[in-house]
Amino acid sequence: MILLMLIIAICLVFLSVLVALQGFSKAPNRALIISISLLGIWMMMVFGLQAVFNSGQGHDFLLAYSRAVFAVGALSLLSLVWFVATILSMHKKTRSVLRSVLLAIGGVIFVLCMSPYIIIDATLQESSVMPIPYYGALMPMYVAVVVATIGAVLYMVLHGSTKEDEHYRRQQIRIVGLTILLAIFSGAITNLIVPWLTGDPGSSLFMTVSIVILIMGLSYAIIRHGLFDIKLAAVRSVAYLMSLLALAAIYYVIAYFISIAVFREGVTTTNFSVSPLNIILALVLAFVFQPVKRFFDQATDKIFYKDRYDTSEFLIRLGRILTSTTELHVMLGKVDKEIRQTLKASGSLFVVFREDGPNEFVGAGIEKDFSEGDLATLAAVAQGDGTIISVSKLGASDTPDDQKLYKILSKKHIALVLPLASTEETIGYFMLGEHMAGAYGQQDIEALEAVVNELVIAVQNARSVQTVRDLNASLEQRIEAATSELLTSNEKLRQLDAAKDEFVSMASHQLRTPLTSVKGYISMVLEGDAGKITAMQRQILGEAFISSERMVHLIGDFLNVSRLQTGKFVLDQKFVNLADLVEDEVNALKATAKARSLKLEYRKPSRIPSLYIDDGKIHQVIMNFIDNAMYYSAEDTTIKVKLGVEEGDVVFAVHDTGIGVPKSEQAQLFTKFFRATNARRQRPDGTGIGLFLAKKVVDAHDGAMVFESKEGKGSTFGFRLPIKKLSVDPNETPSKKEA
């Protein structure tokens, strides 16, 4: 009996390990492992009852142990019900509700089994092999759970198998259901009914029959009907074991002959085990392990996988086909045949969309009568993500589109759909019929996923080549028509651009006159020409004066932009002391800086040469740099304005500790209408033309921009004007220089 238990335990452990290696994340795998574990624990607890009662433990402990045996037995039954549910094509909501119900029932049964209502007491008599339990009032409920479990499994098998369209899936469910029914029925007879009728609990030793039935049935479903894709793991385990045995035999034979030849002994001696020869032999065997294992892998594949294919070779063959031709129909036909034959599919079909004609259908074994509505339903489910669609999983979904697509595809006996999708579009689908030898395994899925990108690129290229071929005949005529249309469009754009520039110029001129009047009248009120005003009125009028002044500057900027576009932007140059110009602007802006809790710092240099410049436009540039520094600086900080001479240039610069300019955006800073991201967040009302115009003005004076910035640390804006080029004789008449 102990040997039988050991064999059963080894079988249970081996089956659990193989299923776990196939993937513990899958619900059927987890359910089977949990069921096998609970059954193993229950079996060991039953056979350990006598040892526990003979161990001299206290009566309370012995009674609790007996109750635990019944509790674990009930949980084992419920876990088998859950395992059957996981292999059915069941809606997610239904499966979730069933899981919650089973957990609730299991919790109640466990509590009742551990209470004094099912087993009152248990004793071990001299004539008994096993302890004799005394059942309580709720023992019939325990029996009812067993009967209900049998009924639930029977119902799920009969009802669930009829909903499966694939033959191999129906066979899997029926084999598993019948196996579990026989196991539960035999377990109930040997562990409950016979001991109750005979009064001899020792007959429960025959409960191993139910475990053997379960192991044999599941093994048959796995090997014959592909319940779990663990055949490869089992074969690889056998190959690994044979490799180890072969190396051990080689080691023993070589060691034996070395012992005879070197140490003159008939068996391997201690001298050999500690000699360098032993170490060398071990290293040699370590190096030859992989070739030996490869040999047994190939040998087991020939025995167990006669129809198995090498994924790498399959992908190489497909790659050669994809690069062999650019004829779309020919290429699809070759690829279709290769995949269908390699994956043992009953049929296959390519559906490739064509923009300049009807869709391309290439394949065999699958009906090609797909309507536009069918393809629209397929597109709604696929959603362009490129994930392989398993038709069997669609049947378990409660989504209307999934159910509709399931009916369309199952009617045509299609098992898998591979969307041919790129990042831009879905160009078609590849469909595979049912597997001729069972179901598609993980290797098949991975092979399709590996080839899909190359397939999409090849189809796109073939479509493009076909499109080019169709266009070649009328290409010249189309180019001429397109060129004529482009010239017409360009002419219209030039006219619209000229009209826009004219409108901006006219609107700016019309706005500047009334704004100047508004600014003048506000200034008069502030100076007291209209009578005494209160402090609050002065503050409000001051804000209005600043806003009108800003508007005047803004209109001036728009006028300058318009002049640049129309070629009327000119410099009105004259002899100017730049130091005085900067001082006047700083003094004018100190009040605004103070209102914003900022400090303007400027030390007028004693010697700055006078330059022949346009003081109005340079004044606008200086004002723009200082104004920007004030807008983008935090309160209670200092803005430094500097003017000096460096290397033959007059250099003006404004330094602030404000938000700075992101490094990735600095290259675009002086382009028209561009504003940095952080600047737009802090000052949404900006236009992005101030720095653009500043650069144009400085360039017109043959100068260069000064700019340095680090995001979050501050910026330096300024310009350099060449002294030599802008120095003139004071007696010469100022002239106008066109920009």
Bridge partners, 596 (sequence order): none
Instruction: Reply yes or no on whether the pLDDT at 127 is more than 60.
Output: no
How many C-beta atoms lie closer than 10 Å to residue 420's C-beta?
23
Q: In the numeric block, which tokens belong to residue 123?
A: 């004793």
Closest CA to 38 of 67, 4, 75: 75
Judge whether 255 and 272 are in contact, CB under 8 Å: yes
Domain boundary among 229, 245, 267: 229
How many C-beta atoms lie closer than 10 Å to residue 178's C-beta?
16
- Provide the 8-state DSSP code for 345: B
CA angle centred on 697, ends 693 and 700, rounded to 5°:
135
The Cα 454–Cα 108 span in angstroms is 56
Instruction: Reply yes or no on whether the pLDDT at 275 is more than 60.
Output: no
**Edge-to-edge strand list for the sheet holding 704-710:** 599-602, 638-646, 649-655, 714-722, 704-710
Instruction: Reply yes or no on whether the pLDDT at 730 is more than 50.
Output: no
Long-range CB contacts (within 8 A, 24+) of 169-173: 169/89, 169/392, 169/439, 171/225, 172/87, 172/221, 172/225, 172/226, 172/227, 173/84, 173/87, 173/88
The Cα 519–Cα 351 span in angstroms is 72
pLDDT at residue number 82: 79
Domain boundary among 568, 591, 609: 568
- Please, which pLDDT band fits residue 654 given cuts at 50, 70 and 90? very high
Count of structural domains within the chain: 5
Judge whether 440 and 169 are in contact, CB under 8 Å: no
Closest CA to 429 of 364, 331, 367, 359: 359
Instruction: Reply yes or no on whether the pLDDT at 658 is more than 50.
Output: yes
> Which of 84-98, 152-166, 296-310, 475-489 has the least mean pLDDT?
296-310
> Which of 8-22, 264-278, 362-376 has the least mean pLDDT?
264-278
Judge whether 220 and 178 are in contact, CB under 8 Å: no
CATH number of domain containing 576: 3.30.565.10
Instruction: Give the DSSP H/E element, type plus range, for residue 160.
Output: helix 139-162
Same domain for 673 and 533? no
pLDDT at residue number 303: 53
In this predicted model, what pLDDT tens digit does every residue of 458-469 receive, in sequence order?
888 888 887 777
The Cα 622–Cα 624 span in angstroms is 5
> Which single residue is written with the structure tokens 């500097």?
642
Name the more confident of 268 and 43.
43
- Rg over CA atoms, the chain: 45
Average pLDDT, whole number, for the chain?
A: 75
Which range marks the domain in which residue 527 is found?
A: 481-568
- Please, which pLDDT band fits residue 376 given cuts at 50, 70 and 90? confident
Same domain for 165 and 32? yes
Q: In the numeric block, which tokens belong to residue 556?
A: 């001036």
CATH number of domain containing 44: 1.20.1070
- Please, which pLDDT band fits residue 703 given cuts at 50, 70 and 90? very high
The Cα 729–Cα 734 span in angstroms is 10
Q: Where are the alpha helices (DSSP H) in 527-666?
A: 535-566, 578-595, 615-631
Closest CA to 610 of 636, 574, 642, 646: 574
Report helix angle 535-566 to 475-526, nearest 10.
Answer: 150
> Which of 231-235, 519-523, 684-688 has the least mean pLDDT?
231-235
Domain boundary among 203, 229, 255: 229
Same domain for 384 and 328? yes
Q: Phi, psi at residue 150, to the nearest 5°?
A: -60, -45
DSSP tally for the chain: helices H, then strands E: 25, 16
Give the N- to C-terminal CA distance of the chain in Å, as an integer: 108
pTM of the entire structure?
0.37
Burial track 599-637 (b if 16+ CB lie within 10 A, e otherwise): ebebeeeeebebbbbbbebbbbbbbbbbbbbbbbbeeee
Same domain for 167 and 265? no
Q: In the numeric block, which tokens belong to residue 715?
A: 């910026």
pLDDT at residue number 268: 46
Same domain for 442 and 321? yes
Same domain for 246 and 317? no
Same domain for 167 and 218? yes
CATH number of domain containing 409: 3.30.450.40
The Cα 71–Cα 42 span in angstroms is 9
Name the more confident of 265 and 149.
149
Instruction: Give the DSSP H/E element, type plus range, for residue 76.
Output: helix 59-86
Instruction: Reply yes or no on whether the pLDDT at 655 is more than 90.
Output: yes
pLDDT at residue number 272: 46
How many C-beta atoms lie closer than 10 Å to residue 424's C-beta?
8
Report helix, strand or coil for 230: coil
- Please, which pLDDT band fits residue 163 given cuts at 50, 70 and 90? low
pLDDT at residue number 274: 45
How buried is 690 (Cβ within 10 angstroms: 0-12 exposed, 13-18 middle, 19+ buried)?
buried
What is the DSSP track for 444-489? HHHHHHHHHHHHHHHHHHHHHHHHHHHHHTTHHHHHHHHHHHHHHH
Dihedral angle computed from the Cα positions of residues 144, 149, 154 and 157, in that order, rounded to the nearest 10 degrees: 160
Q: In the numeric block, which tokens belong to residue 729?
A: 């004789």
pLDDT at residue number 503: 59
What value does the mean pLDDT take over residues 301-322?
74
How many C-beta atoms lie closer than 10 Å to residue 674's C-beta?
15
Same domain for 676 and 719? yes
The Cα 554–Cα 548 span in angstroms is 10
Same domain for 411 and 340? yes
Same domain for 590 and 557? no
Same domain for 645 and 715? yes
Same domain for 77 and 145? yes
How many C-beta atoms lie closer than 10 Å to residue 47's C-beta?
17
> Which of 186-200, 407-421, 602-616 has the least mean pLDDT?
186-200
CA dist list (Å): 48 to 130, 201, 401, 646: 10, 13, 55, 99
Q: Residues 6 or more apart from 344 whose CB is under 8 A from it?
A: 307, 435, 436, 437
Q: Residues 6 or more apart from 567 whose CB is under 8 A from it?
A: none
Judge whether 356 and 397 are in contact, CB under 8 Å: no
The Cα 640–Cα 600 span in angstroms is 6
- Please, which pLDDT band fits residue 14 given cuts at 50, 70 and 90? low
Closest CA to 680 of 659, 663, 664: 659
Instruction: Reply yes or no on whether the pLDDT at 513 is more than 70.
Output: no
Closest CA to 436 of 341, 367, 528, 502: 341
Closest CA to 653 of 711, 602, 700, 716: 716
CATH number of domain containing 511: 1.10.287.130
